[in-house]
């Protein structure tokens, strides 16, 4: 007995190892996603057993979700047969759109419903389930795979050398130069091999979703984001690589998300998940087969844009995927940003690469600034920050000329992608440097005085002479000289309002508030903090100049909020007894994507507006809810809906016992769409 018992014990312990179970030290994928401890000693962990899921552990191969019933399984895309791939490509060819409408800047258009493919609809419906957990797990897989790609990519000198090897193979296509187009019809003609149904979603991206990326674009036709993204899509299709166009699939997925958010049809949500899954399969297929000898900047550029699109898709309040996406995007940008002048190839391909890097840098910086201000997350050190924020902060900036050509910097040194002046970007650098230091020590008040000096310079900047956003009557004559900047102003009744100045002033004021709270360590009820928050609201009040809510309506809504009857966006839509958005926001702004540029400032300052009398405070909160409700309903901004729940919990705190399990976690909140 003394001899057999130890042997038995050892046998019991080592038996799982003999079966060579594939599991990581960090637990199964479901436990990773939920960020809970995983019991790896059992064949099925408690979490997966409880949810009736198959317990799957991360392997070296890329995995994605397939949901076809109560149990979910993860299938390796590498084992997909050739016939299955051909069948999937055929199924993806003709997506039927049925009575789908989408909002345009001028009117509402209906998509063609002549194309019908029952097989595709059946495949898309079965490809992934309607459970939101499926989508979260799918995004989690994207994170694990994309970040694994970044670590395997070669250094820039290797890629640059490989461009010469690729040139002989792809010179027929690359030397043609970048495709030229000025309107959607020209793009549609260049994408002749793409199905009409897929083109319908790409047109939605062109007309609408591109404003998610650059709300201050003058028009879809002049939006540089459209030019860069569709140039990559067109090139991929010209090379007969549509089955590998992961960027195209990502754009279709994002477009389906927009339509679903605006119109609420579950079919669009299914298509969104289907094409997101397809994009991840295409990513795996392309980069798993590429060697360092065949990898070029064209693949890296598309990967960069695709990863940023995934960031856009996962930027909700309830998850933290955006942190992983941004870290990966930063690593990729820092890896390939320095050598963009060394790119070989045709003039067209070189220019496209430089424009792509410039767009990606601005795009990344826009999200990283919000992440830093909103959540204190830092994605680069001081040297990296100087390099990444070299986007119009000085007249001698190497990228200034290209950014002006791309329309990112106006003639008045205003960054139309970020919504900051040159002075504002200098303030960003200083505030982020202070936040990165995180010492709280400023013995001689040098940092405080420097921040105040930069803030004053930013306050003095004016695109148009204005008072709290309203252009002074005596300066109306200046506006015709800026007719190319149609996005810079709003005309309403007999007044003109400067959007550029309103955005810039709210941004720099928010930076000052962030500095005071996190670096100077001042309390939230400090007069310096509250006065700056009040100034933010003054810069926005012109948007609500036509508000005609009655005292009875204001009190009714407030009572519902205080009683907990209204606690999020769905309950607000269900229980609101009067029209809110159209009676609060002026007509020109009710369907205007430029509203999105104010989101961070509004949500982070709205909770601190306590220097108002009770009646004014109630009305102000109604206006703020109308602002977010307008973005959620008309612009498809998913985070705007969750911002409503975030603010209501801040304004009217409830005991933890009254909160439902699916309410957002404030610790993960990040205000962008």
Please report whether residue 68 resides in a domain: no
284 or 638: whose pLDDT is higher?
638
Dump pLDDT digits (tens) for 244-257: 688 899 999 999 99
Identify whether residues 89 and 53 lie together within a single domain: no
Identify whether residues 300 and 348 lie together within a single domain: yes
Residue-level pLDDT at 484: 64
Do 670 and 322 form a contact (C-beta atoms < 8 A)?
yes
Residue-level pLDDT at 403: 86
Do 428 and 389 form a contact (C-beta atoms < 8 A)?
yes
Residue-level pLDDT at 622: 96
Residue-level pLDDT at 635: 94
d(CA 136, CA 124): 18
Do 631 and 598 form a contact (C-beta atoms < 8 A)?
no
428 or 298: whose pLDDT is higher?
428
The answer on pLDDT for 1 being more than 90 is no
629 or 112: whose pLDDT is higher?
629
Residue-level pLDDT at 153: 54
Identify whether residues 601 and 480 lie together within a single domain: no
Please report whether residue 395 resides in a domain: no
Q: Which residues have C-beta within 8 Å of that of residue 607, sequence separation ≥ 6?
A: 647, 650, 651
- What average pLDDT does this structure show over 474-482? 65
Structure token digits, residue 296: 């070029």
Residue-level pLDDT at 330: 67
Identify whether residues 649 and 580 lie together within a single domain: yes
Scored b (16 or more CB within 10 A) or e, 8-35 reads eeeeeeeeeeeeeeebeeebbbbbbbbe
Please report whether residue 384 resides in a domain: no
The answer on pLDDT for 129 being more than 70 is no
* Tally of domains in the chain: 4
Please report whether residue 77 resides in a domain: no
The number of residues making up the chain comes to: 673
Q: What angle do CA 389, 490, 539 make, to 5 degrees?
A: 60
Do 672 and 368 form a contact (C-beta atoms < 8 A)?
no
Do 669 and 317 form a contact (C-beta atoms < 8 A)?
yes
Dump pLDDT digits (tens) for 9-51: 444 444 444 444 444 456 777 777 666 777 766 667 766 766 6
SS3 of residue 3 by DSSP: coil
Q: What angle do CA 559, 671, 301 make, to 5 degrees?
A: 155
495-498 and 489-492 beta bridge pairing: antiparallel
| Most distant pair of Cα atoms in the chain: their distance | 102
Identify whether residues 128 and 226 lie together within a single domain: yes
Identify whether residues 15 and 162 lie together within a single domain: no
Please report whether residue 390 resides in a domain: no
349 or 549: whose pLDDT is higher?
549
- What average pLDDT does this structure show over 267-274? 89
Which of 106-110, 298-302, 307-311, 423-427 has the weakest average pLDDT?
106-110
Residue-level pLDDT at 178: 52
Do 405 and 355 form a contact (C-beta atoms < 8 A)?
no
Residue-level pLDDT at 614: 87
SS3 of residue 103 by DSSP: strand
Please report whether residue 189 resides in a domain: yes
Dump pLDDT digits (tens) for 339-352: 444 444 455 567 88
**pLDDT band per the 50, 70, 90 thresholds, residue 460:** very high
Structural domain span for residue 481: 409-539
Please report whether residue 392 resides in a domain: no
Q: Which of 539, 574, 600 is the last residue in one of the domains?
A: 539
390 or 80: whose pLDDT is higher?
390
Q: Which of 333, 360, 378 is the last residue in one of the domains?
A: 378
Residue 532, CA atoms < 13 Å, CB-side half-sphere: 25
Q: Which residue blocks in 65-183 are alpha helix, DSSP H?
A: 82-93, 118-127, 132-152, 156-174
Dump pLDDT digits (tens) for 138-191: 555 655 565 555 555 555 444 444 444 343 323 323 333 456 678 999 999 999
Which of 98-102, 120-124, 212-216, 501-505 has the weakest average pLDDT?
98-102
Residue 477, CA atoms < 13 Å, CB-side half-sphere: 1
Dump pLDDT digits (tens) for 608-628: 887 678 899 999 999 999 999
Residue-level pLDDT at 214: 92
- Environment class of 615 (CB within 10 Å of its CB; exposed 0-12, middle 13-18, buried 19+): exposed
The answer on pLDDT for 511 being more than 90 is yes
314 or 504: whose pLDDT is higher?
504
Identify whether residues 24 and 133 lie together within a single domain: no
- High-pLDDT (> 70) share of the chain, %: 60
Identify whether residues 535 and 549 lie together within a single domain: no
Q: pTM above the 0.85 mark?
A: no
Q: Which of 493, 510, 539 is the last residue in one of the domains?
A: 539
Please report whether residue 367 resides in a domain: yes
Q: Which residues have C-beta within 8 Å of that of residue 427, sequence separation ≥ 6?
A: 451, 454, 455, 457, 458, 508, 511
Identify whether residues 337 and 348 lie together within a single domain: yes
Dump pLDDT digits (tens) for 56-111: 765 433 333 323 333 333 333 333 333 343 344 334 434 333 333 333 333 333 34
Residue-level pLDDT at 326: 64
Residue-level pLDDT at 393: 54
Structure token digits, residue 171: 């010179």
Identify whether residues 587 and 518 lie together within a single domain: no
**Could you tell me the CATH number of the domain that includes residue 46?**
4.10.240
SS3 of residue 116 by DSSP: coil
Identify whether residues 88 and 38 lie together within a single domain: no
Residue-level pLDDT at 534: 93
The answer on pLDDT for 398 being more than 80 is no
Identify whether residues 573 and 600 lie together within a single domain: yes
Place of tokens 């694990």: 144
- Environment class of 228 (CB within 10 Å of its CB; exposed 0-12, middle 13-18, buried 19+): buried
- What average pLDDT does this structure show over 599-615? 85
């Amino acid at each position: 007995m003394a001899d057999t018992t130890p042997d038995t014990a050892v046998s019991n312990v080592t038996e799982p190892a003999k079966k060579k179970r594939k599991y990581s030290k960090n637990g199964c994928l479901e436990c990773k996603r939920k960020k809970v401890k995983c019991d790896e000693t059992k064949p099925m962990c408690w979490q997966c057993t409880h949810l009736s899921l198959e317990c799957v552990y991360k392997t070296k191969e890329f995995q994605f979700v397939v949901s076809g019933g109560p149990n979910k399984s993860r299938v390796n895309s590498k084992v997909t047969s050739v016939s299955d791939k051909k069948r999937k490509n055929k199924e993806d060819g003709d997506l039927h759109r049925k009575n789908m409408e989408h909002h345009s800047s001028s009117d509402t258009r209906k998509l063609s419903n002549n194309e019908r493919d029952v097989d595709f609809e059946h495949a898309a419906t079965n490809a992934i389930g309607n459970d939101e957990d499926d989508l979260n797990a799918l995004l989690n897989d994207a994170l694990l795979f994309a970040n694994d790609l970044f670590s395997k990519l070669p250094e820039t000198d290797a890629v640059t050398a490989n461009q010469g090897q690729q040139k002989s193979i792809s010179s027929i296509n690359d030397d043609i130069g970048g495709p030229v187009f000025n309107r959607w019809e020209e793009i549609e003609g260049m994408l002749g091999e793409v199905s009409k149904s897929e083109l319908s979603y790409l047109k939605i991206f062109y007309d609408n979703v591109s404003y998610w990326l650059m709300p201050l674009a003058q028009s879809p036709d002049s939006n540089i984001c459209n030019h860069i993204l569709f140039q990559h899509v067109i090139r991929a299709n010209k090379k007969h690589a549509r089955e590998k166009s992961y960027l195209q699939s990502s754009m279709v997925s994002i477009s389906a998300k927009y339509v679903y958010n605006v119109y609420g049809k579950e079919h669009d949500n299914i298509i969104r998940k289907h094409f997101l899954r397809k994009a991840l399969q295409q990513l795996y297929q392309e980069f798993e087969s590429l060697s360092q000898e065949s990898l070029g900047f064209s693949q890296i550029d598309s990967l960069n844009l695709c990863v940023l699109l995934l960031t856009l898709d996962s930027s909700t309040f309830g998850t933290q995927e955006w942190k992983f996406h941004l870290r990966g995007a930063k690593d990729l940008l820092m890896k390939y940003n320095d050598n963009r002048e060394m790119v070989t190839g045709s003039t067209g391909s070189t220019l496209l690469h430089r424009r792509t890097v410039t767009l990606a840098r601005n795009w990344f910086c826009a999200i990283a600034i919000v992440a830093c201000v909103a959540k204190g997350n830092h994605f680069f050190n001081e040297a990296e920050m100087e390099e990444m924020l070299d986007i119009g902060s000085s007249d001698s900036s190497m990228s200034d000329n290209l950014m002006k050509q791309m329309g990112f910097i106006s003639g008045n040194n205003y960054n139309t992608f970020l919504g900051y002046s040159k002075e504002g970007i200098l303030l960003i650098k200083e505030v982020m440097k202070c936040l990165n230091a995180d010492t709280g020590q400023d013995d001689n008040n040098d940092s405080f005085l420097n921040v105040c000096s930069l803030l004053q310079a930013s306050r003095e900047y004016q695109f148009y002479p204005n008072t709290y956003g309203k252009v002074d009557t005596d300066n109306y004559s200046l506006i015709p000289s800026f007719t190319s900047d149609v996005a810079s102003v709003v005309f309403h009744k007999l007044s003109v309002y400067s959007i550029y100045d309103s955005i810039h002033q709210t941004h720099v004021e928010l930076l000052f508030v962030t500095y005071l709270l996190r670096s100077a360590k001042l309390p939230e009820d400090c007069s310096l903090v509250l006065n700056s928050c009040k100034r933010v609201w003054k810069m926005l009040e012109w948007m609500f100049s036509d508000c005609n809510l009655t005292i009875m309506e204001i009190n009714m809504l407030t009572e519902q909020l205080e009683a907990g009857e209204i606690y999020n966006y769905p309950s607000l839509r269900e229980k609101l007894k009067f029209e809110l958005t159209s009676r609060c926001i002026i007509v020109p702004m009710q369907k205007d994507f430029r509203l999105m540029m104010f989101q961070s400032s509004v949500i982070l300052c709205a909770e601190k507006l306590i220097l108002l009398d009770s009646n004014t405070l109630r009305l102000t909160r109604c206006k703020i809810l109308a602002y977010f409700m307008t973005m959620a309903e008309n612009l498809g901004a998913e985070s705007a809906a969750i911002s409503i729940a975030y603010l209501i919990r801040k304004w009217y705190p409830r005991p933890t016992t009254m909160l439902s399990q699916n309410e957002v976690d404030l610790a993960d909140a990040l205000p962008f769409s």
